[in-house]
Amino acid sequence: MLDPITLEILKHAFLSAAEEQSAVLRRTAYSRNVRERTDFSTAICDSRGRLVAQALRAPMHLGGIAPCVQTILAEYGDDVSDGDVFLSNDPYSGGQHTPDVQVTYPIFHADRIIGFGCALAHHEDVGGRVPGSMSTQSKEVFEEGLRLHHVRLYHKGKLEDGVSRIITANVRYPEITMGDLRAEIASVKTGASRILELVDKYGKDAVVQATSDLMDISERRVRESFAVIPPGEYSYEDHLDSDGLTDEPCTVRVTVRVTESNLTVDLTGTSPQGKGAVNCSLTATHAAVYFSTRALCDPDIMQNDGAMRPVSVIAPEGTMVNPRFPAACSARSTIAHRIADCIFGAMAEAIPERVDTAAYGTSPCYGVFGEQASGRRWLYFDCNHGSSGARRRYDGNDGCTSKTSNPQNLPIEATEARLPIRFIRYGFVQDTGGPGRRRGGMALERAWQVVAPGGAQVEMRGDRQRFPPPGLLGGWPGRPSRTSIIHPDGLREEQSSSCTCQLEQDDVFSIAVAGAGGFGNPLEREPELVLVDVLGDKVSVEGALADYGVVIRGGQIDLEATSAVRSDRLSVATPSVV
């Protein structure tokens, strides 16, 4: 092992290389999705395709990058040359879903591979049945666009013209796709230069040694984090509103086995693969598991191959978490969120200070298509995010993306300036955060209307309407999600969480994502904190009494009445363990 100072310096250097890749990708990317929503990640892998360092962008991308590199090594063997650029997006061969296109670039030193620069970006369209390549109603991966099975866009530094032509002919916006690919290539080449500079400075042996030492250190630290968890088996299950195509609810079941310093996540018991696109490719399932188990550890540990070694995953083939080819799987994030919720749910009693409670589920995404009298067609695409779940020590964060994702919202004024959409409300809904000793984050409503003649059609994918985010350790669930159309005459029409519907001009479309789950018994919440929520109208006076047993009169806590109500209720309820 190298000395602890050189290792720390090289750790910074590896992270710096990954971050520079990230800076180059963001700076040179073409699409709004990559540049503004930062839906991409970058990483450095070693000569065996093991993760060395990554720049953190989207948690779900983590754990997805290395499997592609390993597949390339397995499939190409010695036939990898200096100047090759590989493209991968096949969910059945190391990818997560088709829009995530990974660029992999071997780093050569003295005619041998010493590592790989990698960049993964979510492309706005990769062809297929619908614009954007993602529809929950797709049945096969063939509907989800072009599959790039680790093909070379460059071979020995020379553009493979045929590959380039196939891509441009099969995607809807070839300039954008090629622009983003160029940015990814610029990014991985930057990473390669940095690694080669390090080799010049420290020598190849030291750099290689450092990568494996840093992996060993991360492995040891993750094992130490696991070692404090009481050994045993922890289970949890939760449900999805549907598989995207049928109306049948689905189940995600998780059993976490902890033995000394190993952790196995067994997903046996999860529903058979869905008929629609609500399926999670194996790589995406692994990514969700690695993210969640890593979050159970000290946040300070460097994320690399070593950090994943103590974790094994059992995902039975033919289920939603390991669908058989060629099932569609673009809506993998709906399940990934639920896998994370279930792992935290399972571990809550064992390590309550390291988990957070279920958030709002997947972010409802919708496309609104309209046509103006002039014949001009318009599209409004958006995703709504809600609030995060409560923790043992802290309330959920009101208005914050949930754990497995991290994008930004779209400004209202930017939307109104471009589209015939007028927003009616964007705000929290009273009495919706799961009550608990620590309150779950508030449900967030985004309501808008179409102000152009002709109305519009809405296609939407959501969740958490039938199964609200559950609470933990005595905490209550958040309020279920709610999607409705409110007609100008005031009539309210409720919709299911995934829906297709027609809006007339001035109809209001309201989406309130679910409130997040609470943590601990709400009767133990400090009355002062309930009062703050009441004064800020997040909780009503009635809600304070019904959910928390706190009596508020004239803007003040009635302590006597509160303790009377609470002791009354506690005598019939099971006390919380926290």
Window 1 to 20, contacts with other proteins (CB under 8 A): 3-5, 7-9, 11-13, 15-16, 19-20
Q: Pick the piece of the chain touching other proteins (CB under 8 A) from 259-267, 368-376, 400-408, 514-522.
A: 400-408
Interface with other proteins includes 85 (CB under 8 A)? no
- Residues 317-356: x where in contact with other proteins by CB under 8 A, - otherwise, as a string: ---------------------------x--------xxxx
484 lies in the site for other proteins, by CB under 8 A: no
Distance CA 504, CA 259 (A): 58
Does residue 303 belong to the site contacting other proteins (CB under 8 A)?
yes
- The DSSP output letter for 438 is B
Within residues 427-446, the interface with other proteins by CB under 8 A covers: 427-428, 444
Strand partners for 264:
257, 312
Residue 200, interface with other proteins (CB under 8 A)? no
| Near other proteins in 494-523, by CB under 8 A | none
Does 486 help bind other proteins (rule: CB under 8 A)?
A: no
Would you say 33 or 88 has its CB closer to other proteins? 33
209 is an interface residue for other proteins by CB under 8 A: no
At its nearest, how many Å lie between other proteins and the CB of residue 412? 6
CB of 383 to other proteins, least distance (A): 10
What's CA 68's distance to the chain center, in Å?
19
- Measured from the CB atom, the residue of 212 and 397 that comes closer to other proteins is 397
Q: Is the CB of 266 or the CB of 445 nearer to other proteins? A: 445
Nearer to other proteins, 296 or 335 (CB): 296
Neighbours of 544 (CB within 10 A): 24
Q: Quote the least distance from Cβ 417 to other proteins, whole Å.
A: 5
What does the radius of gyration of the chain's CA atoms come to, in whole angstroms? 25
Contacts of 267 (CB under 8 A, 6+ apart): 252, 253, 254, 285, 313, 314, 315, 316, 319, 321, 322, 339
Among the listed ranges 33-41, 251-259, 366-374, 520-528, the one in contact with other proteins (CB under 8 A) is: 33-41
- Cβ neighbours of 60 (radius 10 Å): 26
Binders of other proteins among residues 213 to 232 (CB under 8 A) are 217-218, 220-221, 224
Which CB atom, from 169 or from 451, has the smaller least distance to other proteins? 451
397 binds other proteins (CB under 8 A): yes
State how far the Cα of 336 lies from the Cα of 281, in Å rounded to an integer.
10
List CB contacts of 118: < 8 A, sequence separation 6 or more: 42, 43, 44, 45, 65, 68, 69, 102, 103, 104, 105, 188, 191
Residue 536 within binding range of other proteins, rule CB under 8 A = yes
Binding residue for other proteins, selected from 426, 466, 506, 541, defined by CB under 8 A: 426
d(C-alpha 439, C-alpha 472), whole Å: 11
Residue (of 117, 119, 114) closest to 47 by Cα position: 114
Interface mask toward other proteins for 39-78; x: CB under 8 A: -----------------x--x-------------------
Check if the beta carbon of residue 430 is closer than 8 Å to that of residue 538: yes
Region of 383 (left: φ > 0; alpha: ψ -120 to 50; beta: rest) is: beta
Q: Among candidates 307, 387, 312, 389, which has minimal Cα distance to 352?
A: 389
Nearer to other proteins, 8 or 493 (CB): 8
Round to the nearest angstrom and report the end-to-end CA distance of the chain: 42
User: Buried b / exposed e across 368-397, counting CB within 10 Å, b at 16+?
Assistant: bebeeeeeeebebebbbbbbbbbbbeebbb
Residue from 189, 223, 385, 479 touching other proteins (CB under 8 A): that is 385
What gap in Å lies between CA 226 and CA 211, rounded to an integer?
Answer: 23
Considering the complex, state which of residue 76 and residue 426 has its C-beta at the smaller distance from other proteins. 426
Please tell me the count of residues contacting other proteins according to CB under 8 A.
Answer: 86
Among 424, 559, 573, 577, binds other proteins (CB under 8 A): 424
Cβ atoms of 274 and 47 closer than 8 Å: no
